[in-house]
Structure 1
Amino acid sequence: MVSKSTDISVLMCLSVCVCVQFLKMFTDFLSFMVLFNFIIPVSMYVTVEMQKFLGSFFITWDKDFFDPEIQEGALVNTSDLNEELGQVEYVFTDKTGTLTQNNMEFIECCIDGFQYKNRQDVGSELDGFCVTDGPVSKLQQKAGREKEELFLRALCLCHTVQVKEASTDDLTELDQVDQVDGLERPLTQPQEERGFIASSPDEVALVKGAMQFGFTFLGLESRTMKIKNRQNDVESYELLHVLNFDPVRRRMSVIVRTRTGETLLFCKGADSSIFPRVRPEEVDRIRTHVERNATEGYRTLCVAYKKLSADEFAVAESRLQEARLALQEREAKLTAVYNQVETGMSLIGATAVEDRLQEEAAETMEALQGAGMKVWVLTGDKMETAKSTCYACRLFQRGTELLELTVRTLEEGGRRREERLHELLLDYHKRAVQDAPPAKPGVTRSWATANQEYGFIIDGATLSLVLNPSPDANSSRYKSLFLQICQNCCAVLCCRMAPLQKAQIVRMVKNSKGSPITLSIGDGANDVSMILEAHVGIGKYHLTDTTYGILLILITVVVAEVVGRCYFLYVSFYLYRFVLMEVSVCVCVCMCVCVCVCVWLTLTLVNTHRFKPHQSQS
């Protein structure tokens, strides 16, 4: 019994000794870290920061980054990202103004189910719709003429366009007109085109399109909007309220009052936000045209209107005034009032605007993918329009199998959206991840495992279900499954995106396994959030109508492939050089100290032995 207790005491003493030894080793390690901190000298920090600072000037002076249109080069806001450019794995880009020229041209419109082209080639036929399928005989009737003029008035009134001052007081039109698809327009343009300024080029394109068919917006003076009709008569409308556009509502409206005292609401916006607010029978007449135009790559907008009675306008005005004076949750209250006013509208028609692809956009996308970068397109446009652009710039090949996760696919099968979403995610994960070929050995970058046979498409509504799922067992894996699928696809298209959703996508990839370096490119206010969220953000400044957004992509390719890699090598060289130099100095100092100590000990021993007194013999 005594021996057993003795053994326990010995074991406890040994454990205490071991703990003390480990604690001593840890404190010694920290002490030596303090003692040898001079191995990383202050001069290294100064030299590396100076190298980065001077390197940013070389990027600014580089002729490849010089834009002759604005006579300026690239603007480097921070020098800490030079070396990270060579390690970019994911590129997030906007579509409008970056992949496309952001130079809008009015192509055609659809009024009351009939299509009207704005081109001279009237001999072709598309999907059973002739280019001249406008019923000329119907337009000669009073009802048809009123519908047509109402649509053109809506284009002239529902916007925030400002008119530039022209050199001539009036724009003269010739008596000769050309009737294309039932719409009359001048054969010759005015001597000097009227200039327009707007925050969105779509609005300018629509106003110019209406002007080509006889309705000209003259300007806004003292809350009075003036337009000139086909008979050259000036019409005045009192602007009562503007329900501003925002990326969540995806529409804007104006409330105007005519000279006769009639109050009208004109609304234009995306089909997904307009169709639920009009009568279903009106949607069926226009939906086919909208989908066909989107498939051809055109930007589509739907136009609707509503007559407001005196009581309806009084209620709407009081609610708007109350919401605008609210001190808390003002935006939410305004949105709620907008949604109440913009109901029960009548659908007039739809427009198609062309935004041409940038020059060499396809070659640039291939260069990005060839450099090992994954390209994600984040846009607020309609899915068919964005998909057509991705095919045109070769992000999607004709042999690419597209994995679509949109509201349309979720509604198939007649089941709940959450159940359908869970089923599709598991199916896509099996096809793109589990059945994908194994990664090449020795390759660690995430793009190396990409399956080149699949492309992924998701819209904003479905993305909200993925990122903000309901609290159940199945939804907990939505985000991880979605990320794994996207990482194993050659390209990803996110359409109908809100600005905050763009930032959420970038944040999700940035915080994923491996912490890949991300880069965002954009040219508008909707892209600011994702530019700030990424490791590297590139934006276009000094915007002009002729400034090519493709320069941003070219800058990305050149910087990421050449300049970024060079700066990464330079910084690595300086770090290794300083560490090696300081370690060498420390070794030399230690050797010198050891030599001095050895010499001192040797001399001490020799002197001690030489002068040691001899013992006297007795």
Structure 2
Amino acid sequence: DLFSIRAYVHASKPQLDIHSFEGNFTREDSDPQLHESLSIDNTLWASTVVASGTVIGLVIYTGKETRSVLNTSSAKNKVGLLDLELNRLTKALFVAQVVLAVVMVALQGFVGTWFRNLFRFVVLLRVNLDMGKAAYAWMITRDENIPGTVVRTSTIPEELGRLVYLLTDKTGTLTKNEMVFKRLHLGTVSYGTDTMDEIQSNIIQSYAQPSNGVAGGGGGGGAGGTPSSRKPQTQSAPKVRKSAVSRIHEAVKAIALCHNVTPAYESHAGAGEKETESAEADQDYDDDNRTYHASSPDEVALVQWTESVGLTLVSRDLASLQLRTPSGQTLTFHILQIFPFTSESKRMGIIVREETTGDITFYMKGADVSMATIVQYNDWLDEEGLRTLVVAKKSLSEEQYQDFESRYNQAKLSIHDRSLKVAAVVESLERELELLCLTGVEDQLQADVRPTLELLRNAGIKIWMLTGDKLETATCIAKSSHLVSRNQDIHVFKPVSSRGEAHLELNAFRRKHDCVLVISGDSLEVCLSFYEHEFVELACQCPAVVCCRCSPTQKAQIGMEAADCGIGIEGKAVFSSIFYFASVPLYQGFLMVGYTTIYTMFPVFSMVLDQDVKPETALLYPELYKDLTKGRSLSFKTFLIWVLISLYQGGILMYGALMMFESEFLHVVAISFTALILTELLMVALTIRTWHWLMVLAQVLSLVFYFCSLFFLDEYFDLPFMTTWVFLWKVTTITLVSCLPLYIIKYLKRKFSPPSYSKLSS
């Protein structure tokens, strides 16, 4: 009865890490008292789902102490570079309009209700810009070249046209995250994909020999025995040169045992229903229905390879696993201890006891940097771009294992510094290991990743690749994916651990020019701690940066927190987004609201369809992208030019109508307002680079709306006067004087100083 027991749980304080938990369970009403260590294996975090069965649990962390709440951080508001630039320009424009309004009221005199006249001057809003962003977001989702694209926000789509740095992970982004076993290295001989049949024949030969239980280190089940009749530990026996068959057998057996892979089988018990059952339910180890499940695709690739050469994992549970030999015999191994892989240790281990012989063996595999005590530094497989693992083993006597188990359980009961104490005990077990083999697994590149990276590099985009692989593997992937161009120098940032070392290495790096930087995660952290500004300044000048041995935390901090625009990839994606802007002349009049919303909104908004070059040309000449990243399309210089144009055209429209003053004020309104509408439409036409039929339709509709409104606004317009030749020549003259000089300037500029895109279209 749960309510009658006397027990308590001693747990560690709340923390951010969701991959670890330390605690103890003590029951006082049992004889003797029960003391059990609690770890992540006994933990269910909030918001998790129990896939099957039932769980009896004790709630420890609630409210703000739960891991989900502790790991929740306030989201950073991502503001586009365009919005920041426009905010500054809008402030300047607002101040200019206020000053202009005050000057106009002052010229009239501060008499009567002058403050009302001050607020009659309209402040222009960025309505067309926000509508244009929404239109671009819709166009991206409807692009046939990138089907299935989802735009999460419509506030920063223009950032795709202003990219300067591209931060990308390697696994699953540049590569498919589909692992293929490529090489087995035994120290003196290496086996590749073309010689795997030799390994298979050796495995068949190994299990065909009756005495393979001794030659193969207890690999077969033919030799009976008990734990007491077990042979002595191998490290105390004199070393004897093993045959090639024995070495291959031990290596393949170690790979088949040291992992966290679980096989699952699909049965058709129901009417057309598929359900995954344990293989032990009916001992039906059908190869066609077997699938492997693991936390890492590397593990699955290794187990699939052992199956291909004859040693198959057919069953696994928490206490044991079973292997099937080429002859059909099933070998059972009891799992005594398992040490999972972590990003800190970069290795995993398992202790198993073979059922038939009782032999206890400790297998371990990991990166060569974490196995430095048993293998020297090498780059045989890394230069081929393969993910390297070192596999080793150690035979244990019953006394050795009992001593280790006692110390290991005692360390797990510790509340303070449990991980350090457990690591120290496990480290004592990892001494005097026997090296078995090195494995090389290839993570294949994504389709078209080479031309895509080359295109982005030619577009002037600087690419940062973040990966947890070792330096040689990351460098090889950078070369094979064309992240590094041909004949481009690579500067390898030496490992640094102190401020002085970082200072010396930064000085050496400062003398390099136009080279790709390769730096490890540890060195990156040291540089950012002491010389953040200097390092970032130097690294940002590199055409590409490769950060190897990055921890998941570093990837998140660099790739997600610092990015201005995030792109989640599902399938194949292409970047393309170009924005253009048109300014409207400043005009003071009664019909300003109708002028900006009805008569000229459609032509200005239709400019979202404008293109300087065709999409095919933009992909063929990615160098054109560099002009966008410079931000020359929207700068204070561009802003001042359009302000001067607005003042010039506004002055021509106003003083032109006054100089041609008629006897009726309605004639002045008709002349000036009609000239304003025509000037705006002509200015839109002046800015357009590539005409679209919707643009022509917008121009025509604007004129139709204007002329139709004349019949409803007869109190503001004199229709008989607007049908005379006097009205026509005055409007034509004012419009030509306001627009013709700008057309001439544009023609001369295009003739003598053409932009990059016009050189391709000419």
Same-fold status (TM-score > 0.5): yes
Is this contact kept in 1: 2:463–2:545, CA < 8 A?
yes
Match of 2:527 in 1: 466
Q: Which has the greater radius of gyration?
A: 2
Q: How many residues are aligned here?
A: 436
Is this contact kept in 2: 1:531–1:539, CA < 8 A?
no
Structure 1 stretches of 5 or more lacking a match?
A: 1-24, 67-72, 124-131, 170-189, 411-415, 433-450, 470-477, 507-529, 542-547, 592-598, 600-618
Match of 1:531 in 2: 560
Q: Does 1:102 align with 2:177?
A: yes
Instruction: Pick closer, same or farther for the CA change 1:425–1:356 going to 2, 3 Å.
Output: same
The root-mean-square deviation of aligned C-alpha atoms, in Å, is 4.5
**Shift in Å, 1:91:** 0.4
Is this contact kept in 1: 2:259–2:299, CA < 8 A?
yes
Please tell me the residue identity of whatever aligns with 2:260: T
Is this contact kept in 1: 2:175–2:444, CA < 8 A?
yes
Please tell me the residue identity of whatever aligns with 2:294: A
Please tell me the residue identity of whatever aligns with 2:538: I
Say which of 452, 470, 475 aligns to 1:382. 470
Work out the CA distance in 2 between the residues paired with 1:254 and 1:582.
Answer: 84
Please tell me the residue identity of whatever aligns with 2:409: E
Secondary structure of the residue aligned to 2:191 is strand
Question: Mapping of 1:394-405 within 5 angstroms?
Answer: 394-405=482-493
Instruction: Pick closer, same or farther for the CA change 1:256–1:536 going to 2, 3 Å.
Output: farther
Is this contact kept in 2: 1:406–1:457, CA < 8 A?
no
Is this contact kept in 1: 2:353–2:361, CA < 8 A?
yes
**Shift in Å, 1:92:** 1.1
Say which of 371, 382, 398 aligns to 1:274. 371
Say which of 68, 81, 84 aligns to 2:159. 84
Question: Mapping of 1:44-63 within 5 angstroms?
Answer: 44=126, 49=130, 51-53=132-134, 55-63=136-144
Secondary structure of the residue aligned to 1:309 is helix
Match of 2:262 in 1: 162
Match of 2:3 in 1: none
**Shift in Å, 1:207:** 0.6
Please tell me the residue identity of whatever aligns with 2:335: L
Say which of 429, 442, 456 aligns to 2:517. 456
Show CA shifts across 1:542-570 (max 9, x none). Answer: xxxxxx5xx2xxx2xx33xx22x24xx3x
Say which of 309, 327, 343 aligns to 1:213. 309
Q: Which has the larger strand fraction?
A: 1
**Shift in Å, 1:244:** 2.7
TM-score normalised by L of structure 2: 0.50
Q: Does 1:361 align with 2:449?
A: yes
Work out the CA distance in 2 between the residues paired with 1:83 and 1:352.
Answer: 43
Is this contact kept in 2: 1:223–1:240, CA < 8 A?
yes
Secondary structure of the residue aligned to 2:380 is helix
Say which of 380, 395, 410 aligns to 1:318. 410
Is this contact kept in 2: 1:163–1:218, CA < 8 A?
yes
Say which of 305, 329, 344 aligns to 1:233. 329
Higher relative contact order (Cα pairs below 8 Å, separated by 6+ residues): 1
Match of 2:7 in 1: none
**Shift in Å, 1:402:** 1.6
Instruction: Pick closer, same or farther for the CA change 1:336–1:222 going to 2, 3 Å.
Output: closer
Please tell me the residue identity of whatever aligns with 1:197: H
**Shift in Å, 1:498:** 1.0
Match of 1:370 in 2: 458
Instruction: Pick closer, same or farther for the CA change 1:240–1:51 going to 2, 3 Å.
Output: farther
Instruction: Pick closer, same or farther for the CA change 1:62–1:390 going to 2, 3 Å.
Output: same
Is this contact kept in 1: 2:336–2:353, CA < 8 A?
yes
Work out the CA distance in 2 between the residues paired with 1:333 and 1:303.
Answer: 24
Question: Mapping of 1:567-582 within 5 angstroms?
Answer: 569=580, 572=581, 576=583
Question: Mapping of 1:519-598 within 5 angstroms?
Answer: 530-540=559-569, 551=572, 555=573, 558-559=574-575, 562-563=576-577, 565-566=578-579, 569=580, 572=581, 576=583, 585=592
Instruction: Pick closer, same or farther for the CA change 1:160–1:191 going to 2, 3 Å.
Output: closer
Q: Does 1:197 align with 2:272?
A: no
Identity over aligned residues, as a percent?
30
Please tell me the residue identity of whatever aligns with 2:411: R
Instruction: Pick closer, same or farther for the CA change 1:120–1:151 going to 2, 3 Å.
Output: closer
Question: Mapping of 1:8-27 within 5 angstroms?
Answer: none
Show CA shifts across 1:360-415 (max 9, x none). Answer: 222111110122210111111121122112212222234212211133xx6xxxxx
**Shift in Å, 1:194:** 4.0
Say which of 252, 264, 269 aligns to 2:361. 264
Is this contact kept in 2: 1:303–1:347, CA < 8 A?
yes
**Shift in Å, 1:336:** 6.6
Match of 1:116 in 2: 191
Instruction: Pick closer, same or farther for the CA change 1:219–1:370 going to 2, 3 Å.
Output: same
Work out the CA distance in 2 between the residues paired with 1:269 and 1:580.
Answer: 73
Work out the CA distance in 1 between the residues paired with 2:587 and 2:179.
Answer: 58
**Shift in Å, 1:353:** 1.2
Match of 2:253 in 1: 153
Is this contact kept in 2: 1:106–1:205, CA < 8 A?
yes
Match of 1:487 in 2: 540
Higher mean displacement: 338-347 or 98-107: 338-347
Structure 2 stretches of 5 or more lacking a match?
A: 1-94, 103-114, 217-241, 270-285, 596-653, 655-664, 666-762
Is this contact kept in 1: 2:323–2:331, CA < 8 A?
yes
Secondary structure of the residue aligned to 1:355 is strand
Match of 2:77 in 1: none
Work out the CA distance in 2 between the residues paired with 1:37 and 1:217.
Answer: 82
Is this contact kept in 2: 1:89–1:373, CA < 8 A?
yes
Work out the CA distance in 2 between the residues paired with 1:54 and 1:154.
Answer: 58
**Shift in Å, 1:82:** 0.8
Q: Does 1:250 align with 2:346?
A: yes
Show CA shifts across 1:126-161 (max 9, x none). Answer: xxxxxx9x9x99x99664455433322222222222
**Shift in Å, 1:426:** 0.8
